[in-house]
Amino acid sequence: MRRTALLWLALLGLAGCFSPPPKQQALMARFQTERQSYETLRKMMREDGISDIFDYGEEFEKGERRNDRSAESIGLSNGRADAYRALMKQIGVPRAFSAESDEFAVLLDSSGMANRGWRVLAVWRQTPPRPLHDSLDDFQRSKDANDWRQGYARADGHWYFKIVW
């Protein structure tokens, strides 16, 4: 009986790891609700020169200082670090980063393990990305587990949704 219960828990856990990405309509509803918070987070990171924030603001990266991940080590005050943490937890964003000089992204959702999953982000870009799709709803992952595909769909203005699968 105990072994059967453990097996069911393991199967349910695996099923959760491979759930499908959110639909475009759900992404748009979330974006419309949280857009101003994404803009605030983007502005804060630009002001502080932060390139990456992990684990809802528990770890930070600034420029080339990849090994210094505490707020203190990169010169961020406790108050400012707490502001990042509060904002990221409020909007449910575990990670935010600047991928390129003209791109800022927040992780909205992800599923899977290692090379068998997907992630969806809200991305601000100065220039339109490629490939740009009407919707991410029909975006299909690569058949090769070692080949990551990505696509974008417009959210509003310079904001896009990005899927990596």
Confidence of residue 5 (pLDDT cuts 50, 70, 90): very low
Which range of residues forms the domain containing residue 140?
20-164
Specify if 75 maps to a domain.
yes
**34 or 65, which is more confident?**
34
Specify if 47 maps to a domain.
yes
Whole-angstrom distance, CA of residue 41 vs CA of residue 124: 11
Q: How many domains does the chain have?
A: 1
State the pLDDT at residue 44: 96
Q: Average the pLDDT over 80-102 and give the result.
A: 92
Confidence of residue 116 (pLDDT cuts 50, 70, 90): confident
In terms of Cα–Cα distance, which of 116, 105, 93, 89 is closest to 158?
105
- The string over 23-37, giving b where at least 16 C-beta atoms fall within 10 Å of a residue's C-beta and e elsewhere, is ebeebbebbeebbee
Confidence of residue 59 (pLDDT cuts 50, 70, 90): very high
State the pLDDT at residue 138: 86
State the pLDDT at residue 17: 53
Specify if 145 maps to a domain.
yes
Whole-angstrom distance, CA of residue 38 vs CA of residue 40: 5
Specify if 9 maps to a domain.
no
Specify if 4 maps to a domain.
no
Specify if 14 maps to a domain.
no
Which contiguous run of DSSP H or E holds residue 4?
helix 2-17
If you compute the radius of gyration of the chain from its CA atoms, what whole number of angstroms results?
18
Specify if 94 maps to a domain.
yes
As beta bridge partners, residue 120 has: 109, 163
Specify if 13 maps to a domain.
no
This prediction has a pTM of 0.84
Q: Average the pLDDT over 101-108 and give the result.
A: 91
